[in-house]
């Protein structure tokens, strides 16, 4: 057992010594040398262990000192925290007492300042959208600052602040009843800024150069409306700007621009016609053709009627009018019997009839076809509407507006063409029948005269 321990110790010493010193392969090792080597290794190891123990003890002392410092700092922080908590509680009590005292001293003024803060915020929003700010800019900044000061920092408003709020409110009410002129920059069509005279009608409308203006509160700029209302409104604006005194008619928008915005968005007559689509264009083309034919027939029948009236006053038959050509038949056949002459006169009247009644049937056809084309456009528009409903549902009415507009516009166009065409056809047909009646009347007179001679 002792021998095993000696061998184990010797082997461990050899293994330890190999990390300290290296022997040459040629150096001989014996038991004495081995014991000496072990002794030297133990000496070195002992010195190292002592050094390590000394370092550990030194660090242990250092850590103990640091721990003491941390505990002392903790104790100091705890004491400071206790002091701060006491001071905080004391401040809370003092603040509550001061707040209670302030509320008692303010009394009804507290409600006044609350109303003042609310009025300042509301007035700021009112000034931002009022067109009076186009002439008097910067009024809303004071109201905004006053509302924020009284709301965030709970500061009280001064007498000057209250008077300023009252003054601005009074000035806004006063300016709403005035028509003022002032010079400022206006963004005209094309995007250019031009300095020109602007007329402000209360808090309702702004006009310049006979056109309505729009006030942008975000950029504090004035610009002409991209689309102006119809001429009957623009004429009143131009008259107002040209008039320096007295009373004039003016198209006033009491909503401050809402109604005017709807008016300029409404399509004009040209845009409504375009909404009719292809069928609407066909109806207009047919109506134009009917109009041209009607004008030609009016002129032709007016000329023919004038010549026939002159012929009635003359005994000499002329070739420039139907009555004269019919009367010439009597001279061409002076010796025929009255019954033969009657047939010749009827033949002459029949030759003149196409010239008098020419294109009247075509006008009648147009008066019948126009409403049918309008009905065609109505059906086409409704088909488009139902297709939009099938694809997109009924959630957005704008998707169906195109088809409905086409349906209604084409119906209107068809009626607009048909109704006047019916009246025109009736007038022209009556006029042509009167002319033919004159021919028949004169023909009957000629036959009666020939019959009397034959008798």
Note whether 424 and 279 are same-domain residues. yes
| Residue 304 and residue 245 share a domain | no
Share of the chain above pLDDT 70, in %: 86
Reading the block at residue 334, the tokens are: 């002076």
Please report, rounded to a whole number, the percentage of residues in the chain having pLDDT higher than 90.
Answer: 12
Shared domain for 424 and 397, answered yes or no, is: yes
Report residue 371: phi and psi, to 5°. -65, -30
Instruction: Tell me: do 193 and 146 sit in the same domain.
Output: no
Predicted confidence at residue 398, as pLDDT, reads 67
User: Is residue 316 assigned to a domain?
Assistant: yes
Using the predicted structure, report yes or no on whether residue 4 has a pLDDT greater than 50. Answer: no
- Is residue 291 domain-shared with residue 228, that is, in the same domain? no
Q: What is the pLDDT of residues 407-444, one digit of tens each?
A: 888 889 999 999 999 999 999 999 999 999 988 888 88
2 and 116 assigned to the same domain: no
* pLDDT given at position 320: 83
Residues 282 and 396 in one domain: yes
Rounded average pLDDT over 78-84: 90
Same domain, 162 and 186: no
Residue predicted with more confidence, 177 or 369: 369
Whether residue 328 has pLDDT greater than 70: yes
| pLDDT (average), residues 228-243 | 83
Number of domains forming the structure of the chain: 4
Q: Which pLDDT score, from 0 to 100, does residue 3 have?
A: 41
Strand ranges, E, within 209-278: 211-216, 221-224
Question: If DSSP codes are grouped into helix, strand and coil, which group holds residue 29?
Answer: coil
Tell me if 327 is assigned to some domain.
yes
Q: Find out whether 149 and 237 touch, Cβ atoms under 8 Å.
A: no
The per-residue pLDDT for 296 is: 92
* pTM score of the predicted model: 0.55
pLDDT tens track for 93-112: 888 888 777 666 666 666 77
Given a cut of 60, whether residue 24 has pLDDT beyond it is: no
Question: Are residue 450 and residue 317 in the same domain, yes or no?
Answer: yes
Q: Which of 265, 284, 300 is the last residue of a domain?
A: 265
Query: For residue range 150-186, what is the model confidence (pLDDT) as tens digits?
Result: 766 566 777 888 888 888 888 888 888 888 888 888 8
311: containing domain: 275-454
Confidence band of 30 (pLDDT split at 50, 70, 90): low
Q: What is the pLDDT of residue 8?
A: 44
List of residues 6+ apart from 212 with CB closer than 8 A: 205, 206, 224, 225, 228, 229, 233, 234, 237, 260
Residue 274 has pLDDT above 70, yes or no: yes
Q: Are residues 332 and 218 in the same domain?
A: no
Predicted pLDDT of residue 126: 83
Is 297 part of any domain? yes
Domain boundary at 44, 68, 97, which? Answer: 97
Residue 9 has pLDDT above 60, yes or no: no
What residue spans of 335-359 are helical by DSSP H?
A: 338-356
Residue 374 buriedness (CB in 10 A; 0-12 / 13-18 / 19+): buried
Comparing C-alpha atoms, which of 129, 124, 111 is closest to residue 168?
124
Name the residue among 305, 302, 304, 332 with its Cα closest to residue 317.
332
172 part of a folded domain: yes
Q: Looking at the structure, do residues 411 and 342 belong to the same domain, yes or no?
A: yes
**Residue where a domain stops, chosen among 223, 245, 265:** 265
Distance between terminal CA atoms of the chain? Answer: 190
Per-residue pLDDT at 36: 72
Tell me: do 186 and 171 sit in the same domain.
no
Q: How confident is the model over 112-137, as pLDDT tens digits?
A: 777 777 888 888 888 888 888 888 88
Tokens in use for 363? Answer: 């006008």
Beta-ladder partners of 197: 183
Q: Is the model's pLDDT at 16 over the cut of 70?
A: no
Asked if residue 135 is part of any domain, the answer here is: yes
Give the integer Cα–Cα distance in Å for 212 and 205: 7
């Amino acid at each position: 057992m002792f021998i095993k321990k000696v061998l184990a110790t010797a082997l461990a010493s050899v293994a330890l010594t190999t990390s300290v010193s290296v022997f040459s392969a040629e150096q001989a090792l014996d038991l004495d040398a081995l014991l000496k080597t072990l002794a030297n290794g133990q000496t070195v190891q002992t010195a190292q262990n002592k050094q390590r123990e000394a370092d550990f003890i030194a660090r242990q002392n250092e850590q103990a000192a640091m721990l003491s410092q941390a505990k002392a700092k903790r104790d100091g922080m705890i004491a400071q925290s206790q002091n701060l908590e006491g001071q905080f509680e004391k401040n809370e009590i003092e603040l509550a007492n001061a707040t209670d005292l302030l509320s008692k001293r303010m009394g009804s003024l507290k409600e006044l300042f609350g109303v003042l803060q609310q009025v300042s915020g509301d007035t700021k929003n009112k000034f931002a959208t009022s067109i009076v700010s186009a002439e008097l800019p910067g009024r809303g900044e004071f109201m905004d600052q006053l509302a924020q000061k009284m709301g965030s920092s709970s500061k009280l408003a001064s007498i000057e602040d209250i008077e300023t709020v009252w003054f601005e409110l009074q000035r806004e009410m006063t300016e709403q009843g005035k028509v003022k002129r002032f010079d400022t920059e206006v963004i005209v069509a094309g995007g250019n800024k031009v300095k020109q005279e602007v007329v402000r009608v209360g808090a309702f409308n702004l006009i310049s150069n006979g056109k309505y203006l729009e006030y942008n509160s975000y950029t504090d700029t004035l610009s002409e409306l991209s689309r102006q209302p119809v001429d009957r409104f623009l004429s009143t604006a131009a008259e107002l700007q040209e008039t320096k005194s007295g009373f004039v008619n003016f198209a006033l928008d009491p909503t401050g621009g809402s109604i005017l915005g709807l008016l300029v968005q409404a399509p004009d007559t040209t845009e409504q016609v375009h909404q009719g689509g292809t069928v609407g264009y066909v109806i207009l083309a047919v109506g134009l053709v009917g109009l041209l034919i009607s004008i030609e027939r009016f002129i032709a029948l007016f000329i023919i009627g004038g010549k026939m009236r002159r012929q009635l006053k003359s005994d000499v038959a002329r070739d420039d009018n139907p009555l004269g050509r019919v009367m010439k038949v009597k001279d061409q056949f002076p010796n025929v019997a009255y019954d033969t002459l009657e047939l010749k006169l009827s033949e002459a009247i029949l030759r003149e009839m196409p010239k008098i009644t020419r294109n009247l049937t075509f006008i009648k056809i147009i008066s019948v076809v126009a409403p049918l084309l309008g009905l065609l456009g109505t059906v086409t528009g409704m088909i488009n509407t139902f297709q939009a409903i099938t694809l997109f549902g009924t959630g957005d009415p704008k998707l169906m507006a195109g088809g409905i507009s086409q349906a209604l516009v084409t119906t209107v166009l068809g009626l607009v063409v048909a109704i006047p065409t019916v009246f025109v056809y009736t007038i022209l047909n009556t006029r042509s029948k009167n002319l033919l009646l004159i021919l028949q009347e004169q023909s009957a007179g000629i036959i009666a005269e020939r019959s009397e001679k034959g008798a």
